[in-house]
């Protein structure tokens, strides 16, 4: 049987960093391909190609970088059995969510991984993470996923959870897709199908705002966001999506934005939260004012999905329909 052919796309992150001798801080290395290729036991099982796409700290990752990654995969899509992307952990959940919208109807896996310690340092976790990611890219999976330690997580359900080797990412509102081990176990995942036609829409509208409610929040903040010309607004409300509606009410601002053709997506601040705008008066008033529910999507998935939708349409009714539809497993409809 032929070895699976996997392409590693390098996008930066700790896995390819070195420590600055002067400051002791980590910075991107100049040459990383040798580090990533130095896994001879993996080469026996999988045919690996390497492509340098970018080399940046993930805190500098921006939406155009998601587009660049998506375009690279699209161009190489028919030549490989799967893809592995290495990038920093800080914004990996955003990148994974964005790619799940830019590259829909997949017939092969796109696996993201990284590390907390550079590959060239003692005790590096990146070596095992890279091996597990490549093994996952050879499995019968057709999703964008994140692999850290031996866990396989749906990319648009993942959140960075902790700076620890085994618990960097978790999936608060959805089970893991699987775990690598003896044996490897897959739980609930999308399988490969050759007849699927890839849907490629890699653009994102960056002019959006993310606001978090807190006691004493000034409604004028939303006014300033509207006045600066934001194309979309995401608000993290209290509990299941409640917002102030008495003396510091933001209901008029939600109505103003919606009337101006600016969609307002209302989410929640809970780690394992589900937005339910019909549960309390504060959420219900926001719903009647035009707010769109994030349901059980993560903040990362909600924001990147809004940016993706806004690149295609400016009609609020159309935006609401797409935001509340399950496109790539990012939300539960029940």
Catalytically annotated residues: 14, 89-90, 160, 280
For residue 113, how far is the Cα from the chain centroid? Answer: 12
Contact partners, residue 153, CB within 8 Å, separation at least 6: 145, 146, 147, 169, 170, 171, 176, 177
SS3 string, the chain, reads: CCCCEEEEEEEECHHHEEECCCCCCEEECCCCHHHHHCCHHHHCCCEEEEEEEEEECHHHCCHHHHHHHHHHHHHHHHHCCEEEEECCCCCHHHHHHHHHHHEECCCCCEEEECCCCCCCCCCCCHHHHHHHHHHHHCCCCCCEEEEECCEEEEHHHCEECCCCCCCCEECCCCCCCEECCCCCEECCCCCCCCCCCCEECCCCCCCEEEEECCCCCCCHHHHHHHHCCCCEEEEEEECCCECCCCCCCCHHHHHHHHHCCCCEEEEECCCCCCCCCCCCHHHHHHHHCCCEECCCCCHHHHHHHHHHHHCCCCCHHHHHHHHCCCCCCCCCCC
Neighbouring C-beta atoms of residue 209, cutoff 10 Å? 19
């Amino acid at each position: 049987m032929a070895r699976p052919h996997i392409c590693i796309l390098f996008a930066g992150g700790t896995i390819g960093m070195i420590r600055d001798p002067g400051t002791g801080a980590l910075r991107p290395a100049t040459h990383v391909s040798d580090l990533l290729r130095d896994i001879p036991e993996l080469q026996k099982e999988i045919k690996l190609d390497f492509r340098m796409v970018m080399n940046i700290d993930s805190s500098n990752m921006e939406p155009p970088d998601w587009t660049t990654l998506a375009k690279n995969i699209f161009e190489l899509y028919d030549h490989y059995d799967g893809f592995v992307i290495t990038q920093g952990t800080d914004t990996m959940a955003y990148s994974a969510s964005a790619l799940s919208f830019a590259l829909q109807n997949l017939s092969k896996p796109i696996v993201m991984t990284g590390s907390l310690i550079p590959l060239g340092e003692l005790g590096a976790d990146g070596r095992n993470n890279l091996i597990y990611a490549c093994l996952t890219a050879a499995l019968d999976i057709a999703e964008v996923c994140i692999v850290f330690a031996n866990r396989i997580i749906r990319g648009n359900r993942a959140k960075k959870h902790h700076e620890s080797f085994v618990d960097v990412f978790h999936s608060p509102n959805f089970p893991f897709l699987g775990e690598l081990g003896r044996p490897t176990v897959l739980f609930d995942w999308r399988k490969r199908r050759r007849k699927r036609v890839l849907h490629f829409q890699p653009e994102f509208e960056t002019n959006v705002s993310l606001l978090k409610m807190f006691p004493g929040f000034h409604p004028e903040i939303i006014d300033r966001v509207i006045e600066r010309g934001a194309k979309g607004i995401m608000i993290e409300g209290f509990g299941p999506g409640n917002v102030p509606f008495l003396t510091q009410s933001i209901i008029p601002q939600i109505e103003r934005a919606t009337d101006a053709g600016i969609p307002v997506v209302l989410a929640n601040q809970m780690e394992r939260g589900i937005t339910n705008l019909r549960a309390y008066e504060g959420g219900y008033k926001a719903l009647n004012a035009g707010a769109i529910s994030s349901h059980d999507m993560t903040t990362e998935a909600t924001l990147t999905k809004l940016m993706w939708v806004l690149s295609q349409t400016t009609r609020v009714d159309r935006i609401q329909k797409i935001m509340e539809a399950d496109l790539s497993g990012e939300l539960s409809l029940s």
